Amino acid sequence: MSYTTKIKEEICQKKNGKSEMIAELSGFMRNNGSIKEEKFILTTENIDILNRLKEMIELLYEIDLIEEIKENLNFSKKNLYVLTITSKKDFILQDVGYYTKENQYQKTPPTYIVGANEEIRAYLRGVFLACGSINDPKTSRYHMELLIAQPEEAVFIQKLINLFDLNAKILSRDKGYMIYIKEAEKISDFIKILGANKAVMYFEDVRIYREKKNQTNRLNNCEQANIDKVIQTATVQLEQIKIIEDNRSVELLDEKTKETLEYRKKYPEASLKELSEIITYETGKTITKSGLNHRLRKIKELAERIKKIN
């Protein structure tokens, strides 16, 4: 079962008041329904959504619905469930903000449909049940999308989502408009708005795990980079020491710098900090990282002078 299906099944368990039912039906019917002759047709591949729609419509409008199962023509192996409204069709479409009083399609629903915060959430639930999807957070990218057919409806839904500061954006597609969110935290907040609390907990658990894993990887990469840098620096220093020794010029260094030269040869993979600690421990004479760096700079300068002469 996909993550989107789990969210939709959880939404279908949520109880609504009357105004929320109308708002949720409006969100679904405006983005899923179609008119054929004197019938209004709703379709879904999810039996839980079918039962939820049927329950709300029958409860609100006291009508009998025609329910059918058809073969899916979009290469899906799932059945296509069809609900058909015939009686009270015009009244219902006016009540959910699909029709005006003159039975003309409304480009956006009337304000009373989404007049309160809970009604806005219910409308977005209906839209998501009709045409929404969210990637499983275990996948490589976070992504929520709603595929909307009409431009005015798309802009309207985007504005509703962004009332919650979710930074939803719109892209034009061949068959309509895609409203999408890419940020993990914003997607999590959107699922909260839908009321799918179990799905939120799953999303957050996976997101936190991924962030910790990425942080560990970054630290490991940083540590590896530091090791590579230490080895590279030590390699250069050993090359400088070889130039000095090959040219029999060690005696040109003072005693402390000669001592550093020998310790660098003895511990070629030690970092500057580690080497200063080793010398301090083995000689009993404290040398700081800065002091050690000063001595190594003398070795470098002598090697460069020799190279110039040669």
pLDDT in tens, 72-105: 766 666 789 999 999 899 999 999 999 999 989 9
- Domain termination site, one of 195, 220, 243: 195
In the numeric block, the tokens 């007049």 are attached to 115
- Asked if the structure places residue 203 within a domain, the reply is no
- In the three-class reduction of DSSP (H, G, I as helix; E, B as strand; rest coil), residue 282 is classed as helix
- Asked if the structure places residue 131 within a domain, the reply is yes
- Both 66 and 145 in one domain: the answer is yes
| Band (199; pLDDT cuts 50, 70, 90) | very high
- Asked if the structure places residue 160 within a domain, the reply is yes
- Both 166 and 237 in one domain: the answer is no
| Max avg pLDDT among 56-60, 77-81, 263-267, 272-276 | 56-60
> Could you tell me the pTM of the whole model?
0.70
- Both 12 and 156 in one domain: the answer is yes
Exposed, middle or buried: residue 111 (CB in 10 Å: 0-12, 13-18, 19+)?
exposed
Across the beta sheet with 39-44, the strand order is 34-36, 39-44, 80-85, 66-70
- Asked if the structure places residue 246 within a domain, the reply is yes
- Asked if the structure places residue 273 within a domain, the reply is yes
Number of domains in the chain: 2
Q: Check which CATH number belongs to the domain holding 164 and give it.
A: 3.10.28.10
- Asked if the structure places residue 115 within a domain, the reply is yes
| Band (165; pLDDT cuts 50, 70, 90) | very high
- Both 104 and 37 in one domain: the answer is yes
- Both 93 and 9 in one domain: the answer is yes
Where does residue 235 fall: left (phi above 0), alpha (psi -120 to 50 degrees), or beta otherwise? alpha
- Asked if the structure places residue 117 within a domain, the reply is yes
Residue 237 is part of which domain span? 228-309
- Domain termination site, one of 142, 172, 195: 195
- Asked if the structure places residue 213 within a domain, the reply is no
